[in-house]
Structure 1
Amino acid sequence: MTTTAIIGGLLVDGTGADPVPDSVVVIEDGRITFAGKKNGKAMPRADRVIEANGASVMPGLMDVHVHISLSAPSDLLKEMTARPVGEAAFEVANNLADTVAGGVTTIRTVSDLAHLDIAARNAIAQGKIVGPRIHPCGKGLTTTGGHGDIMPCWLCQSHGDISEMVDGPDAIRKAIRVQAKTGATWIKLFQTGGVVDPHGRIEAEEFMPDEFDTAVSTATTMGLPVAVHAHNKTAILRSIRAGCRSIEHGMHFDEECAEAAREHGTFLVPTLTVMDRIMVHGAQAGIADFMIANVRERTTKHHEYVKYAYDIGANIACGTDAGSLLTPHGSAGREVVQFVKCGLDPVQAIEVSTRNTAKLLKATDVGTVEEGMLGDVIVVEGDVVSNVRVLEVPGNMRHVLIAGQEVAAGGRAFRH
């Protein structure tokens, strides 16, 4: 049995409870056996003691909207066509290292090249590479010409794409079975255009009703939850009422959508970080003006919708779109800051990004720093309650532990 004691930090345990100063967290054989005030626990004989004075102790952050085979380009098509799959696989390993270096210990991938997300999950489990816990969807499903159809037609057959292009119920049914065969544990559907699409496609739907219903029923029959890229209200409500588990982005997730989501238990993953990155850095990086405008004209309402959903008790989870436009891997701390910009306080924003995000994944043994939970714990420089922006900087991550084993420190992952 190995024992780690984290001593002296400000404990923000992810449950929404008041922070605990001068705390101690004890991890034995990968699980937390105590978390609370230092004077409430006789100090164990620990194999390792981590001094957390001047730091905050929190659950590992989570990011449930990640493209691990993309590396935050300014041009998605160039990213997809400028490298062979083998090179992309090496980039995946680097992106996973950046993920844990940023204090992110659990991710869900939402459409990646060549099922590299599933291969990465397996390699991490086998101890071949360092990375977070991965809940993969494999390749998302999109229509021909849909939001997830990135490659021009003369390239997609030779290069592959991050999505499966499917048209008609039979093709959709087969594609979902293929994702399940490869080991995907989620199904991703691209149901609307997005902010990167011109000509108002963000307001349109892509799968026909019978196609959409086939996708959801097939996934449900196979026990796979469905995540839906959906921006406009019609698509959001269709997805909620069909029983999809999460709405990704949801820039028009208004009051009616929030109330329907609360009724059905659907989660909103608003990916505020990618939107912020496009607005703040897009012009300098060469992002097209119409993309920046698509975000800017919707962002104020998007933030208001997130706050409304939170206030009425609808489920919200943390996802950043890491790997997509200008959004680095390991960005979940940035999403916490964005939740605060929406009007949540730091403790609430951390709870959304840890415990509530774990609920989306139905991961019952991560997401909080409590007795019996796995020791996915981060020690962050400074007081995250008085200055939540410390979470944005990977270098502020003094220690990142997964099941009690340190995988990163000081903004750098430990490599095998």
Structure 2
Amino acid sequence: MSVTRVLLGVLIVVVGGHGLVTARQSQQRQSQIKPLALVGGSLIDGTGGPPVRNSVVLIRGNRIEKVGTITSLPVPGGYDPISTDGMTVVPGLWDMHVHLIYSGHPNTGYWFKYASQFENVTIPVAAEQMLMAGVTSVRDLAAPAQAILTVKKRIAEGTLPGPTLYVAGPALTGNRTATLTPQFMAISSEPDARAKARQLIDAGVDVIKMFNLEQMSPDERRAIVAEAHSRGLKVVAHGITDTDIRLGLESGVDDFQHLGWATPEFPPDIVTAIRARVRAGPPLYWTPTVGANGLLNLPYLATRPEFVDDPAGFRGLPAELVDDVRNGWAAYQPGAVDPNTATNVKRRIAQLQALGVILVFGTDEGSVGQLPSQSTWMDADLWVRELGIDPMTVIRKMTSDAARAMGADRETGTISEGKYADVIAVRGDPLRHIDALREPKIVIKHGRRHK
């Protein structure tokens, strides 16, 4: 029996054995939270509807109890009133592509020297930084299984501050010869591909990620997708190269990650295949991570911007790691800026929209320059300023649409009665200045105020 299988088996037992205790602890903590009333601000509820002036949001336990205005919904006695005058109240934000194991170092491969600290240091620190930035739900798309699933459980229990985690654990890869870092798990055959997908699902992952599709056989790719779909999980894979996209579409991948930029348009055969998939279903999602991986943020990173020295990006990190990150940026050599990148990215995004692909908001937090304390608002700014998408649509992509893509929209994603109380408030109006999302003044996650 492989070491991987033993570790996953132990993790399943540990997580399952604590389920009853976790639920009881969570209920006890929620009963101790004083009811809250957010009073006075403009409300953007995440549905895409017009803002509501002079709003009132009542929160009891971990749920939104009622939503109204100061004239339609007087605040009952016993609530802790919080003024949101001069602010905009928004659902907690989502980031659908993060890597919480990293800590802002520009050389992600180098950072695995700290792999022993992922579970107790780097993942919890990045998670709390994202929460303080107003991000209340994230999808982590490659991390060691034990580390990320343990942190996910601790956050769900309420013993660790952070966004709700939806996780892939290690990505299943067809690379059988390289020495792999622990955010990957190699498959060796079609039965092994199916077995490892099943092990990850049994351990508690929420999504399956495939990597190096070109190094898998068609049967291996289809086995992973079939196993995930049979258990109600989506499958994600890279969509950078034409080969990535062709193999992903052929295999039934649900959500492509990242975006190629070498040419302004997809080849005709890929356009035809995307159109056929959108027409026949199931829905095709695409998380383009437009700021990362040499795309729209690279020209800015090439100037060595001051934001990489922002103390918020180091909050919670041990001094040794802080020094290592600073030294990494001092030695950072940005790649060459291709003057066609921005034009090609914008054209490809427009092409995907015209084909009926559902765009998903994700930043690739953890990659070069995508800092946990900054990446979400910075990419929102790119969607508005560079891609020309209106702010209300971008906010919807960051809230209700993301929850829907994750299959969690019945419980979260909008400020609606009965849903989880994941709410932030920002000074100013993000419909006029999307960068108002940069520094939320109030952050409430599952009814508990963190900021």
Higher Cα radius of gyration? 2
Q: Secondary structure at the match of 2:162?
A: coil
1:163-182 maps to which residues of 2 (within 5 A)? 163-182=184-203
Letter matched to residue 139 of structure 2? R
Structural mapping, 1:89-238, within 5 Å: 89-144=120-175, 153=179, 156=180, 160-191=181-212, 205-238=214-247
Secondary structure of 2:36's counterpart equals strand
Q: Which one of 330, 340, 346 corresponds to residue 391 of structure 2?
A: 346
1:26-72 CA distance string (max 9 Å, x none): 22232223334332223333521111111110000001111111122
Distance in 2 (alpha carbons) for counterparts of 1:4 and 1:189: 42
Is residue 355–residue 367 contact of structure 1 (8 Å, CA) maintained in 2? yes
Question: Which segment drifts farther, 247-256 or 47-56?
Answer: 247-256
1:15 to 39, 42, 47: 47
The equivalent residue for 2:28 is none
Q: Secondary structure at the match of 2:296?
A: helix
CA distance in 1, matches of 2:103, 2:55: 37
Segments of 4+ moved more than 4 angstroms = 252-258, 285-289
Any residues of structure 2 matched to 1:218-297 within 5 Å, and which? 218-251=227-260, 254=266, 256=272, 259-260=275-276, 262-263=278-279, 264=281, 265-274=283-292, 275-282=295-302, 284=304, 285=329, 291-293=335-337, 297=340
After superposition, give the CA deviation of every residue in 1:351-374 in whole Å (9 maximum; x if it has no partner).
011111001110021111122221
Q: TM-score, normalised by structure 1?
A: 0.83
Distance 2:221 2:118 in 1: 34
Give the stretch that moved more between structures: 44-53 or 172-181: 172-181
Which residue of 2 is the match for residue 198 of structure 1? none
Query: Offset of 1:256 from its aligned partner?
Result: 4.9
Matched, 1:78 2:110: yes
Measured after TM superposition, the shift of residue 317 of structure 1 is 1.4
Q: Distance in 2 between matches of 1:335 and 1:240?
A: 26
> How far apart are 1:106 and its partner, in Å?
0.4
- Tell me how far 1:398 sits from its aligned partner: 0.8
> What whole-Å deviation, never above 9, does each CA across 1:377-407 have from its counterpart, x for those lacking one?
001121111111121x3xx211111122112
Do the aligned residues in 1 keep the contact of 2:255 with 2:287 (CA within 8 Å)? yes
Equivalent pairs: percent with the same residue?
25
Shift of the 358–129 alpha-carbon distance from structure 1 to 2, 3 Å rule, reads: same
For structure 2, list consecutive stretches of 5 or more residues without a partner in the other structure.
1-30, 305-328
Within 5 Å, which residues of 2 pair with 1:319-358? Answer: 319-330=362-373, 331-340=375-384, 341-358=386-403
Amino acid aligned to 1:273: G
Secondary structure of the residue aligned to 2:111 is helix
C-alpha distance in structure 2 between counterparts of 1:103 and 1:366, whole Å: 15
Distance 1:26 1:111, change over 3 A: same
When residues 56 and 74 of structure 1 are mapped into structure 2, their CA distance, relative to the original with a 3 A threshold, is same
Distance 2:196 2:405 in 1: 24
Give per-residue Cα distances to partners, 1:254-285, cap 9 Å, x unaligned: 45566456432121111123233334214644
